[in-house]
Amino acid sequence: MKVRYSYLPQQFAEIDDLLAEIKRFVATGDFTLGKPVVEFERRFAELIGTKHAIGVNSGTDAIKLPLKALGVGHGDEVITTANTFIATVGAIAELGARPVFVDCDDSFCMDVGQVEAAITPRTKAIVPVHFTGYMTDMRALMPIAEKHGLPVVEDACQGILANIEGRNSGTWGRAGAFSLHPLKNLNVWGDAGVVVTDDDAMAHSLRLLRNHGMRNRDEIEVLGCNSRLDSLQAVVGNWLIGTAREISDKRIENAEYYDRHLGEIPQIRIPPRLPDMRLVYHLYIVFAEDRDGLLKYALDRGIEAKVHYPIPLYRQDALKHLGYEAGSFPVTDRHTTEIITFPTDQHISREEQDYVIETVRSYYAGR
């Protein structure tokens, strides 16, 4: 049996209505910040529960532009987490600022207890990452940020519709960043991102920054860039956004099935499932004894298991200049040897999941 990682062919198998929609859209020629973008922004803000949503061209820019709007630039430090996708750090570095890492805990998010020790006079902002679909402990982080007068921009690219006590990811800080990349929970056919905020001034700045800082066709208010949400992708987004809640419900249901059965295997440890938190399983990760052996065994049997990620950012060549020494982030380091990601999404079947569970069981039974 093969258990595929990518479910995109299934997700976009029946799209006649969408193609008809695209045909209608193309006839309008409304390609630049067109009506579909306006509609998508309205629906996205409604989905997350914020006053504003601003479409941009990627999740990376959805992190970068709010930081730019907050004045983050050369010489500044921005605190984020040691285990994230490179895009978080790339967004900070692109502004000329220095990413400062804080280790994670077993929820794969920033260990908020270590944030204060990382604050210096140069710290300009904090970017918690709601990694894998967990949420950073925002109840603990926000008072720390407020005490030090530091704005928070949430990287919610993997955490759409995750919440703590019902309050959604992306709505805790000054702004929240989402990605609509094909591999994210709410996805389109290319690169796209969204920033949400309740702050009118922030929303105003973002609308300028994403479109060359143009107030209108003839007047340039600030220096910005080209980071518009593509209208064609907005058509795809509008087609899909009505099912966003269903997608996350289904992912949660499938993850709970894995938890129940993989959790019975003594060599597998399920990460903490926190009672007040709705986690949306962008990635389904467990801790496994003899991870490398299990990974190879699963791959050999057609299961596209993965490791997110085998090499932490602070040990990557591109970030050597930050000067972190090996062992600086022990939990992040430990995870690289213990974690395994199994395919889990809204389209995986029970048969596929049972096959994964049986394969894991047979690996440990046969060792």
Ligand X SMILES: *Cc1c(COP(=O)(O)O)cnc(C)c1O
Pick the closest to residue 7 from 309, 211, 301, 247 (CA basis).
247
Q: Nearer to ligand X by C-beta: 91 or 145?
A: 91
Angle (deg, nearest 10), helices 291-300 and 350-366:
130
Q: What track of x and - describes contact with ligand X for positions 86 through 105 (by CB under 6 A)?
A: -xx-----------------
Q: Nearer to ligand X by C-beta: 134 or 297?
A: 134
Q: What track of x and - describes contact with ligand X for positions 109 through 148 (by CB under 6 A)?
A: --------------------x-------------------
Residue 180 Cβ, how far from ligand X at the closest point, in Å? Answer: 7
Residue nearest to ligand X (CB): 59
* 89 φ, ψ (degrees, to nearest 5): -75, -40
Please pick, from the candidates 179, 187, 197, 248, the single residue that binds ligand X as defined by CB under 6 A.
179
Q: Which stretch binds ligand X (CB under 6 A): 56-64, 227-235, 240-248, 265-273?
A: 56-64
Query: Is 147:140 a contact under the CB 8 Å cutoff?
Result: no
193 binds ligand X (CB under 6 A): yes
191 binds ligand X (CB under 6 A): yes
Query: Is 141:119 a contact under the CB 8 Å cutoff?
Result: no
Sheet of 175-179: strand order equals 52-56, 193-197, 175-179, 153-155
DSSP 8-state code for residue 243: G
Q: Output the 3-class SS for 19-66.
A: HHHHHHHHHHCCCCCCHHHHHHHHHHHHHHCCCEEEEECCHHHHHHHH
59 binds ligand X (CB under 6 A): yes
Helix (H, G, I), strand (E, B) or coil at 101: strand
Q: What track of x and - describes contact with ligand X for positions 144 through 163 (by CB under 6 A)?
A: -----------x-xx-----
Residue 99 Cβ, how far from ligand X at the closest point, in Å? Answer: 12
Q: Nearer to ligand X by C-beta: 87 or 244?
A: 87
Q: Nearer to ligand X by C-beta: 86 or 119?
A: 86
Pick the closest to residue 2 from 364, 289, 348, 255 (CA basis).
348
60 binds ligand X (CB under 6 A): yes
Interface with ligand X by CB under 6 A: which residues? 58-60, 84-85, 87-88, 129, 155, 157-158, 179, 181, 191, 193
